[in-house]
Structure 1
Amino acid sequence: MRLHQLDITAFGPFGGSQKVDFDDLSAAGIFLLHGPTGAGKTSVLDAVCYALYGTVPGTRQSGQGLTLRSDHAAPSTRTEIRLELTVAGRRLEVTRQPPWERPKKRGTGTTLDKAQSWLREYDPVAGSWKDLSRSHQEIGEEITQLLGMSREQFCQVVLLPQGDFARFLRADAEARGRLLGRLFDTHRFAEVEKRLAERRRTTEAEVRAGDAELLADAHRMHQAAGDATAGDGTTGDGTALPELAPGDPGLAEDVLAWAAVARSTARERLTIAHCARAAAESARAAAGHVLDDVRELARLQRRLAEARERAAHLEERAEDHREAQARMERARKAEAVAPALDLRDETETEHRRAAEAETRARALLPQEYADAGAGGLAAAARRAAEELGGLESARRAEQRLASVVAERADLDRQERADDDVLQEAESWLAGWDTVRAGLQSRIESAQEAATRAEQLAERRDPARKRLDAARLRDQLAGDTDEAQARVLALGERALASRAHWLDLKEQRLQGIAAELAANLTDGQPCAVCGATEHPELARKIDGHVDRDAEERALTAYQSADEERAGAERRLGVVREALAAATAEAGDTPTDQLDRQLAELEESCAEARRGASGLHVAQEELRRAEHERELRLAAGQEAAVRAASRTTRRDTLDRERTSLEEELAQARGTADSVAARAAHLERLAAWLTDAADAARAAEDSAQRLKDADARLADAAFRAGFDTPRAAAAALLDDTAHRDLQRRLDAWQSEDAAVRAVLAESDTAAAGRQPAADLPAAERAAEAAGQRLQDAVSAWDAAERRRTELDRLSARATDSVRRLAPLREEYDRVARMAGLAAGTSADNERKMRLEAYVLAARLEQVAAAATVRLRRMSAGRYTLVHSDDRAGRGRSGLGLHVVDAWTGRERDTATLSGGETFFASLALALGLADVVTDEAGGVRLDTLFIDEGFGSLDDQTLDEVLDVLDSLRERDRSVGIVSHVADLRRRIHAQLEIVKGRSGSVVRQRGSG
């Protein structure tokens, strides 16, 4: 992978658009990325990572999205990263735009635009770019597949992070294992361990569940055999159920053996119960036969006694039976007279109703018709109907007269309403000129107030801004004093720290001989004089200052100096802000500006209140003009209606006079024609009803005489002296049914008694002694109880034997089913223990993932040693150790071998500079191994972040030589550092310069 060009817009500290030409920088093999703290050196690397993966490295990836946007960017400038690179022989261009809050195109405020991505590829044949995708997911998958690395691997291999490998160098086995696991993606081996452990737990649970089920069956068999126990937990033959638990060895054999003994005992007891049941059944049958004979004898004796009692009772009721038979005979004769009796009653009722109707109808007639017959009444009804027909024309004339009178009254009401409308319109129009003048005056006053409010509003906004600037001016004046005091205090502290550092440096130089002597070995040349013999070594005195103490003092001085510089920059910023605020606010006091703004606000509010009545006055004027038009129109319409009413009133008066003359002749003495017609209608109806009632009464009287004659004749033929005697002999349905039921019951009872007394076996039973039924029942009951007990005992023995057979077969199946599961559990448990490092066969207690990582660490150490030897002039070699470390783990140890002493020691004993170039070598070696692990992807561009300030000149030269040798693998290396000496040694540079409007990029190529 080779980077060609990076374009950054509104990203991080870069407020505008910046361009980085990696082709020009990479021509020299090594290039330097430098700039002051906070300028944005790391943001350049963040932009590369964001373009490729859509996220930034490490902890900076939290809170992305809107936070990636530069605070220095213009509101209309969108954040964008564009990276052009070559990977796997393909030249690609990746463009990413994170989400941003842009100003709305219409109105005020902002709106959120979603993130966008583009991926293009250069076609060398066509000489142009072609689009590949605009999907975030597809672009991420394409880049990851081409690079062969995840974002974490890329950040560890291409962007060698500041301090990470120093921590990796000194880390314990657990922390080192976590980092290697992320880089080499060994989670699949951890998943194997996890799956084996889960499989072991699963199979163990299945085995224990099977054992628990087997034990449950054993306890069920014990309960099933419990009826045959003596209450001491043993079966009938004294064999006790073993005390067993899931997982116990030999559990299956013990359960099956105990089940066999229980089944044998249950079969023996079943045979005994069967014999007892057969004997009880025979005894119960004999007792049953005896009981049946005694019951039959007792039944016949009771039957004979009951028959004799019933015969005596019949004899007592014989006279009543004969009387009932005579009454039934008279009732049958009277039934022949019943139709005539019913006809006479119906005819009498009909005649009575007809007479009552005639009386009611005659009561309504005038006195002159009181003695008239049916014919006279009908003739009078016809005359009244004819007179009623002659009044029809007069009734229509009377209805028309009512309509004419109503219409005439309505015309009078309309005339009065129109007079009111005309008077109201004239009164309202008389004051129209005054109302219009008042409304126009209000409109002109409101318009003048609106103009005044706009003028005051234009003066209010500058006054408010000036007041805000004055308040900021007052605040910044206090901040300036505080910042100036802090600069003075921090300057004094920096001077004291520098003096302390120079003192320690001078003390160390005075005792440097003792420090050099500590590293001398007999036979090895002295670094100062070259001698191989060292007869008198310099010794350290009390209070000797070593290199670590000097470096700590230098670090403290640099920290104090940076803090002082930061305070000075803060003071400059505050002074610039104070000057800007003073220029805008002027020298006018803040309270005076506040009063001026308050007066403007009050005046503006008063003018707006006056202008607020403009719309109301305009609406009132419009409504008044509309009302005037309505009043004028209403007056004109009322005048037109008055003219038409005069003609209509004369016509109605003439028609009314004619109708009144006609009606006076038609109504006679009645109040109206309608009253005269109503009287004639009632009279005709009464006369008709009375004639009909008179004819009906005459007809019913004749039918009543005929019915009396037929009834007398029917009673004589039936044998009764009078019709009244025949009516008395009749029975209603209820009495007839009751009498017949009594006669039938007596006859049935008499026949039944005679039949019982004639039975031979009943008569024979009466001659025998009385039967003793209770004694026979007690004997049969005792025999039945003995049989029931025997059957219960046999049934319990049968159920016990069946249940024991079922449970024994089930236990046998469980044992057969558990056998292969136990074998699988033993095999899985051995494999899980071996992979987890807990098995006795795993001597070093090394987990499977740690074993794979140990092999990778060995490769990393070998690759790192090649560069470490060059950086350390052949002194140091990195080796990995499989000694047991924290929590019993092993295989991830890392030691350094010192060629000067020939001893292997912990990497934590390296000095600061030695730690840096050792961790750098480790990082480069890890990059090579991870690259090979990722599929051999060429990494032509690397970045190394900081750490060079801890190296002396000679070591720095050796480190740079090693980095320069990376060009042998066609790589270019970018060094991110503050070290000033590197600016003289490395000609290709990318400088980040920060300013008030954001950072900018300055590039200098190898030329």
Structure 2
Amino acid sequence: MYLHRLELRAIGPYPDLVSIDFAALAASGVFLLEGPTGSGKSTIIDAVVFALYGGLAGSDASSDRLHSQHADPAVEPFVELVFETGAGTYRVRRTPQYDRPKQRGTGTVKQQASVQLFRLANPSDVAGEPMSSRIPEVGVEIGRIIGLDRAQFLQTVVLPQGEFARFLRSPGEDRRKLLQSLFGTQVYDRTADELAARRRAVQAEVDGADDRVRDALNRFAQAAGLDGADESAVPSTVASIRAAADAAAAVRAAAASAATTAAEHEQVVTARATALGRRAGLLARQTALDEDAPAVDDARAIVALGERAARVAAVADGLDAAVLRADETTATARAVRDRHGVAEAPDVVVGRRDVLADDLSAVRHLVAVEDGSAARRSAIAEAVATAEQLAGQLVARDAALDARPAERARIVEAARTAARTAADADAAAHEVTRVRSLRAELVARDHAAQRVTAAEQTVTAARRSATEALAAERALRERRIAGLAGELGAALTTGDPCPVCGSTEHPSVATPQDDHPTTEAVDAAGDATRRADQRLADAASDLAVERAEHQRLVDVVGTVDAAALDALTEAADARVRAAHDAAALVLQHERHRAEHDTETGRLQRERNDLDARRTVLTSTAQADAERLDTDLGTVAAARERLGALLDDRPTTLRTAVELLDERLEAYRAVVQADERVAAATRARDDRRAEVARVLDDQGFADVAAARAGRLDPGDTERLRARISAAEAERAVVVGGLAEPSVVAAADDSAERLDLDGARVARERTAAELDRATGAAASAADRADAVDRCATEVTRATRARDETSARSRAVVRLADIANGVTAANPTGITLGTYVLMSRFEDVVAAANDRLRGMLAGRFTLETSDERESGSRARRTGLALAVHDHTTDTVRDPRSLSGGETFTVSLCLALGLADVVQAEAGGVSLGTLFVDEGFGTLDPETLDDVIGQLSRLTAGGRQVGIVSHVEELKQRIPERIAVRRTAAGGSHVTTTV
């Protein structure tokens, strides 16, 4: 990642706009950021980190110091950074949270933080493509673009004061977290976790497989009828039970064959006896049919004659009806012509009907026009009157609208006056809060005074108790010393040397006193004294704390008393109430203004509606009057046309139409009567021709002969039923006698058929089959159950063996990956093992630079042992410093300030090199080192500057933040920060 340009304003000590071109500064590789202590050098680093991550560089730094106290409060603070990565060129602009003056009234309002991220075509692109303006989304995008979070950025790109030495001194577990995030080795930890989960899963599978084998063996033993069974007995048991089932099946097959033979014999004997009886019955029915055959033939002849006569009679009946209908229609038509007075020929009447119908159709619709003319004239007059009324209402609405603006101005001015009073709400609320806080502190001061008094009494009591306990302990010790001779004498036995004089003879042994204190009593008194002293110390400490709190509250409250607080409270509450009332009044005025505007809009809409309605009514009335005149002219022309067809001239069109409608109806009635006569005549002639044809077809001389041969319907049905019954019986008898079994029965006799013997043989063999079937089914079921259980045993055993074989590899691999001592004596997990390789690369890169510094005295070494003083598991990432001068290994925390700076810098540079060299790693094109150079002697400073200069050979930018004077002589490119007379700072860039 490379920095191109940084701009900031109203940030830290910089009230004005500051612009820094890092690309120009880094043209030679190394540039210096210098200035006096506290002038604002680190603020520039903070601005870079804030622009990218929304936080500051130092771990303890607060973002509250971002907004400049030297800038105008109305000026918006911001930081804008243009940077480039492998993903492209971007510009990010952030503003911190700050308090700005209110736009109306007094006081301030908190302005929330904001951010904008743009993708640029090139570093000089001033517009760019907006990507996001939401803080969470920009944070995610920045992490994706740079590839580092804030903590990683501070370890590899920006090395602030005291921060980049933390990696050197941190314990191995902290190094593991940082290296894991930098090199993306979380996958190995997830792999170890997955292997552990799989280990638990396969172990559970092995246990489940063992349980399934035991369950299968138990079910096999139950199916085989055994008390118990093992895996070796399964095959032999299955073979013996299957052999018994096969033998029972053979017995059942033989019994089934015998039963089938007996059943078939019984069926044959029964069928032959049935056929013999059926043949005798069919022969008797055949004899009866032969005797009744002549009578059936006579019935067939009678039925045929009756059917032919019925066909002729039906057609003759139709002819009679047609003749009658033709006579009736002719008489009806003559009566209709007489009634209407029409004597012309039919075709003449049809022509007159059509002409008159056309004339009436052309003018009939004008009758409604004539009838509605009076209503239309009335409607036109009403429309004209309504338009005049609307014109009057329109004048009234215009007058009301002209008076509305003055009333609205009065409401707006009242609302503005109330708003000025309500603007004092925040200040009044702050004053109420301050007075309440002061009252609470006044109450707390009184309570603190009471606690001080109580604490003093507690100290007095504790001091008295401590004095008494000390006196008791001293008395016990004095008594024990005084009676020590008796204690020694009580411990002497004859022949033992005296612990005082060494003599083995004890002529006068001292005896202990009755109240001689024991060691336990003295120790208990000492413990009591120590507890009393501790209570005294605790009470004294509590007293000091209470006195300090009481004094603090006295200083805060000062000379304010309850009466003064009451007055302040009343005044603050009055200000709050006045502001609150004014705010309510503002809302009321705003509501009145909104209502006034709503009413004005309503009046304006009503006025526009009235104007539109008046215009529409006027134009509509004019158009309707013109159309009415045209329609009345058309009606008059039609009335004259129809009057020519009548004897008397009609006064209205409706009268003419009604008279001609009556004439048209007469014509229509005559035409319809003539058409019915013609149709009836044609039907009569058609019927006569049909009767002649049917008489010839059926063989009758005339209609009377045919009608004489007709049968009664009851006789016809009776004869047909007799014929059908005889034909059906004949078919049944002939078919039955042709059946093979009936034909074969001609050679049988009842004496040769033994039905009872066949039935007895069938019942005996069926009973034997039932017994054999039951035995075979039981044996087969048992054998099938045993086979299924044996298959389950085999399947469960095979699954158990496969699970065991598979689980062994998984268990061992999981134990190795998770550092289980039984499989992995080193106790180092897979993720840590991978990080150790990366860490060794980091240490090697650091040593490569460290050899050229501090006269080659130190090198860094890694270890897989625990960190000193740590109870955590071995991370394999422990770090030590090898001092080649004394050939000793030292803890990094034992280095001096300059040594720590140099070693930490080399370690940080090595870490950055390895991260950049990793496949898919992050490109680190810019490096900032913040302070620490003041701890170096000139020779070591030369070595450090030389190592930093080596970084620029690969295109890196190195910025050194320092106030060391010697660096100004070595590095020409610089950013100089100086304080101004107004208290802020300004920046000068030298390229």
Q: TM tier, shorter chain?
A: 0.5 to 0.7
Matches within 5 A, 1:620-639: 620=610, 623-624=613-614, 627-628=617-618
Q: Distance in 2 between matches of 1:726 and 1:633?
A: 82
Which of 773, 798, 813 is the matching residue for 1:828?
Answer: 813
Q: Distance in 2 between matches of 1:780 and 1:644?
A: 112
Specify the alignment match of 2:239 in structure 1. Answer: 267
Q: CA deviation at 1:942?
A: 1.0
Specify the alignment match of 2:826 in structure 1. Answer: 842
Q: Secondary structure at the match of 2:961?
A: strand
Residue 785 (1) aligns with residue 771 (2): yes
Q: Secondary structure at the match of 1:828?
A: helix
Task: Please give the per-residue CA displacement for 1:139-193, whole angstroms capped at 9, x wherever unaligned.
Answer: 999999999977533313554456657977886x4xx522453157576666445
Which of 727, 738, 754 is the matching residue for 2:725?
Answer: 738
For 2:729, the aligned partner's letter is R
Specify the alignment match of 2:45 in structure 1. Answer: 45
Deviates more, 1:776-785 or 1:300-309: 300-309
Q: CA deviation at 1:34?
A: 1.5
Q: Distance in 2 between matches of 1:749 and 1:590?
A: 120
Specify the alignment match of 1:233 in structure 2. Answer: 228
Q: Distance in 1 between matches of 2:770 and 2:636?
A: 125
Task: Please give the per-residue CA displacement for 1:190-220, whole angstroms capped at 9, x wherever unaligned.
Answer: 6445535644653675576478558746754
| Consecutive unaligned residues in structure 2, runs of 5 or more | 98-110, 133-137, 444-532, 534-543, 557-574, 651-660, 918-923, 949-957, 965-973
Tell me if structure 1 keeps the 8 A contact 2:977–2:986.
yes
Residue 327 (1) aligns with residue 292 (2): yes
Q: Secondary structure at the match of 2:92?
A: strand
Tell me if structure 2 keeps the 8 A contact 1:181–1:187.
no
Residue 388 (1) aligns with residue 360 (2): no
Q: Secondary structure at the match of 2:228?
A: coil
Identity of aligned residues (%): 15
Task: Please give the per-residue CA displacement for 1:480-515, whole angstroms capped at 9, x wherever unaligned.
Answer: 9899999999xxxxxxxxxxxxxxxxxxxxxxxxxx
Q: Secondary structure at the match of 2:316?
A: helix
For 1:759, the aligned partner's letter is D
Residue 467 (1) aligns with residue 454 (2): no
Q: Distance in 1 between matches of 2:626 and 2:329?
A: 64
Specify the alignment match of 1:244 in structure 2. Answer: none
Tell me if structure 2 keeps the 8 A contact 1:942–1:973.
yes
Tell me if structure 2 keeps the 8 A contact 1:119–1:133.
yes
Matches within 5 A, 1:712-723: none
Q: Secondary structure at the match of 1:233?
A: coil
Q: CA deviation at 1:263?
A: 1.9
For 2:178, the aligned partner's letter is R
Q: Distance in 2 between matches of 1:604 and 1:703?
A: 103
TM score, norm. by length of structure 2: 0.57
Q: How many residues align?
A: 793
Specify the alignment match of 2:914 in structure 1. Answer: 933
Tell me if structure 1 keeps the 8 A contact 2:94–2:113.
no
Specify the alignment match of 1:573 in structure 2. Answer: none
Q: Distance in 1 between matches of 2:356 and 2:4?
A: 117
Tell me if structure 1 keeps the 8 A contact 2:183–2:915.
no
Q: CA deviation at 1:424?
A: 5.7
Q: Distance in 2 between matches of 1:867 and 1:29?
A: 25
For 1:1001, the aligned partner's letter is S
For 2:80, the aligned partner's letter is I
Matches within 5 A, 1:66-77: none
Q: Using a 3 Å threshold, how does the CA distance of structure 1 residues 990 and 593 change in structure 2: closer, same or farther?
A: same
Task: Please give the per-residue CA displacement for 1:62-93, whole angstroms capped at 9, x wherever unaligned.
Answer: 999xx9999989999795524689x99xxx99
For 2:19, the aligned partner's letter is K
Specify the alignment match of 1:974 in structure 2. Answer: 961
Q: Using a 3 Å threshold, how does the CA distance of structure 1 residues 391 and 157 change in structure 2: closer, same or farther?
A: closer
Specify the alignment match of 2:666 in structure 1. Answer: 675
Specify the alignment match of 1:446 in structure 2. Answer: 401
Tell me if structure 2 keeps the 8 A contact 1:41–1:992.
no
Tell me if structure 2 keeps the 8 A contact 1:331–1:731.
no
Specify the alignment match of 2:316 in structure 1. Answer: 351
Q: Secondary structure at the match of 2:17?
A: strand
Q: Using a 3 Å threshold, how does the CA distance of structure 1 residues 629 and 7 change in structure 2: closer, same or farther?
A: closer
Q: CA deviation at 1:116?
A: 0.9
Q: CA deviation at 1:48?
A: 1.9
Q: CA deviation at 1:418?
A: 7.2
Matches within 5 A, 1:459-498: 459=413, 463=417, 466-469=420-423
Matches within 5 A, 1:153-168: 153-157=152-156, 159-161=158-160
Matches within 5 A, 1:752-831: 759=747, 763-765=751-753, 771=757, 773-774=759-760, 777-779=763-765, 781-782=767-768, 785-786=771-772, 789=775, 793=779, 797=783, 815=801, 821=806, 824-825=809-810, 828=813, 831=816
Q: CA-atom RMSD, angstroms?
A: 7.4
Deviates more, 1:271-280 or 1:927-936: 271-280
For 2:680, the aligned partner's letter is D
Tell me if structure 2 keeps the 8 A contact 1:354–1:697.
yes
Tell me if structure 1 keeps the 8 A contact 2:881–2:891.
yes
Specify the alignment match of 2:986 in structure 1. Answer: 1002
Q: Distance in 1 between matches of 2:868 and 2:153?
A: 31
Matches within 5 A, 1:64-463: 79-82=78-81, 95-98=91-94, 115-118=117-120, 120=122, 151-157=150-156, 159-161=158-160, 173=171, 176-183=172-179, 191-192=187-188, 194-196=190-192, 198-199=194-195, 202=198, 205-206=201-202, 209=205, 213=209, 216=212, 220=216, 223-224=219-220, 227-230=223-226, 232-234=227-229, 241=230, 258-259=231-232, 261-268=233-240, 270=242, 292=262, 296=265, 300=269, 303=272, 307=276, 311=280, 324-336=289-301, 338-362=303-327, 366=331, 387-391=345-349, 395=353, 413=371, 416=374, 420=378, 439-440=394-395, 443-444=398-399, 446-450=401-405, 452-453=406-407, 456=410, 459=413, 463=417
Tell me if structure 2 keeps the 8 A contact 1:283–1:783.
yes
Q: Distance in 2 between matches of 1:810 and 1:710?
A: 105
Q: Secondary structure at the match of 1:34?
A: coil
Q: Distance in 2 between matches of 1:342 and 1:209?
A: 96
Q: Distance in 2 between matches of 1:682 and 1:702?
A: 32
Q: Using a 3 Å threshold, how does the CA distance of structure 1 residues 206 and 744 change in structure 2: closer, same or farther?
A: same
Q: Using a 3 Å threshold, how does the CA distance of structure 1 residues 868 and 449 change in structure 2: closer, same or farther?
A: same
Q: CA deviation at 1:233?
A: 1.1
Q: CA deviation at 1:335?
A: 3.3
Q: CA deviation at 1:726?
A: 15
Specify the alignment match of 1:34 in structure 2. Answer: 38
Q: CA deviation at 1:329?
A: 1.4
Q: Distance in 2 between matches of 1:904 and 1:425?
A: 115
Q: CA deviation at 1:839?
A: 4.8
Q: Using a 3 Å threshold, how does the CA distance of structure 1 residues 56 and 647 change in structure 2: closer, same or farther?
A: same
Tell me if structure 1 keeps the 8 A contact 2:89–2:122.
yes
For 1:202, the aligned partner's letter is R
Tell me if structure 1 keeps the 8 A contact 2:217–2:793.
yes
Q: CA deviation at 1:7?
A: 2.4
Specify the alignment match of 1:18 in structure 2. Answer: 18
